[in-house]
Chain A
């Protein structure tokens, strides 16, 4: 039992740092760059993606033996699209302001390579409990990068974090951080720092 738990934990930990979906696998970049102009949006996008990833990995790893190999990709996409529709209606009903600022990026979770990639690489080959560990790990890995990117961009772009004003009147906001250019630059530097830390540790 102890060995099994250790194995599960290493699967779980993988997504958070060592095989981080954004930093290392470089997938799911569109929402990462597009919606992170504030910490709140980044976190919301991360959680929405996490919900879809976890539920679809559970369903797909459960029914993987019933899906014929030839049509597995279309089947995966249909299962994912169903959960995305569910998420979209849920967010629209309970968090209309977040739904408005994320706009088409919630439906675009359907084509987020992270989700389909994990189904193909993990859920379709592993039992349910392992798939849950993988999905939760990857979701945390995805969400922390999005939230951190959102915090950095919001801090420099508006002087606030999660809508809370931190820097006073004297601060002259760097509007560029909220614009597309700032998103690319910040993420580029973040991946650079990530690589640097990894090299230092080795």
Chain B
């Protein structure tokens, strides 16, 4: 198989088959916390995708040229979390200066991304899977798109739930988790579609 088709398959499998939220359980906090409205969910997804793509590139470079080159694997977690935190800060400052409109849309979500386990999980999965630089960036972008897909679907379901008659004890978090369960079940239909 050519390298290009390999990359395309990697992208599709990251978005659907190994969806970060519904299959790998990464990024559940924003998935439950910021999925009340489609609009905000989409902004959150956009911000996360942006940071994920950059994180994938930055952590690949640091892992390959610093941590592995100087044999410092024990510094991996400390290094990754610093990279992610400063990247988020940097992206926030950059967007604030260049595009006030985008900043207004993403503003409050950016600081939240630092403690989003999907980002850290992405950084940890890349060395584990031994991806090349391009594959890492595609993996990061695909993870972000998968995240956005799941969170927007969830927001759509929750908007409709407003009109539902939910038992008192299940209101709020429990019913959200149960819906997420059903969503995860339906995503299982993609399993086995592609194996990378």
- Which residue numbers of A lie inside 8 Å of B, CB to CB? 26-27, 29-30, 33-34, 74, 77-78, 81-82, 84-85, 88-89, 103-104, 107-108, 110-113, 116, 176, 179-185, 187-189, 191-193, 195-196, 199
Confirm or deny: B184 has a beta carbon within 8 angstroms of a beta carbon on chain A. yes
Task: Give the docked Cα–Cα distance between A37 and B24 (Å).
Answer: 13
Task: Give the docked Cα–Cα distance between A121 and B76 (Å).
Answer: 27
The residue in chain B whose Cβ has the minimal distance to the Cβ of A32 is B28
Confirm or deny: B182 has a beta carbon within 8 angstroms of a beta carbon on chain A. yes
Residues of A contacting B74 with CB < 8 Å? 85, 89
State how many angstroms separate the Cβ of A99 from the closest Cβ of chain B.
13
Task: Give the docked Cα–Cα distance between A196 and B167 (Å).
Answer: 10
Confirm or deny: B190 has a beta carbon within 8 angstroms of a beta carbon on chain A. no
Count how many chain B residues have C-beta atoms less than 8 Å from C-beta atoms of the other chain. Answer: 46
State the main secondary structure of chain B at its contact with A. helix
Q: Are B117 and A181 closer than 8 Å at their CB atoms?
A: no
Task: Give the docked Cα–Cα distance between A44 and B170 (Å).
Answer: 29
State the main secondary structure of chain A at its contact with B. helix
Q: Are B117 and A192 closer than 8 Å at their CB atoms?
A: no
Q: Are B120 and A188 closer than 8 Å at their CB atoms?
A: no
Task: Give the docked Cα–Cα distance between A33 and B25 (Å).
Answer: 7
Confirm or deny: B85 has a beta carbon within 8 angstroms of a beta carbon on chain A. yes
Residues of B contacting A78 with CB < 8 Å? 78, 81-82
0/1 interface trace, chain B 41-65, chain A, CB 8 Å (1 if under): 0000000000000000000000000
Task: Give the docked Cα–Cα distance between A78 and B79 (Å).
Answer: 9
Q: Are A33 and B77 closer than 8 Å at their CB atoms?
A: no
Residues of A contacting B93 with CB < 8 Å? none
Residues of A contacting B121 with CB < 8 Å? 30, 104, 108
- A188 and B124 in contact (CB under 8 A), knowing A112-B117, A181-B184? no
Given contacts A88-B77, A195-B169, 16 further A-B contacts (CB under 8 A): A33-B25, A34-B26, A74-B85, A77-B85, A78-B81, A85-B76, A104-B124, A104-B128, A108-B117, A110-B77, A113-B115, A187-B177, A191-B173, A191-B177, A192-B170, A195-B172
Residues of A contacting B29 with CB < 8 Å? 27, 29-30, 113
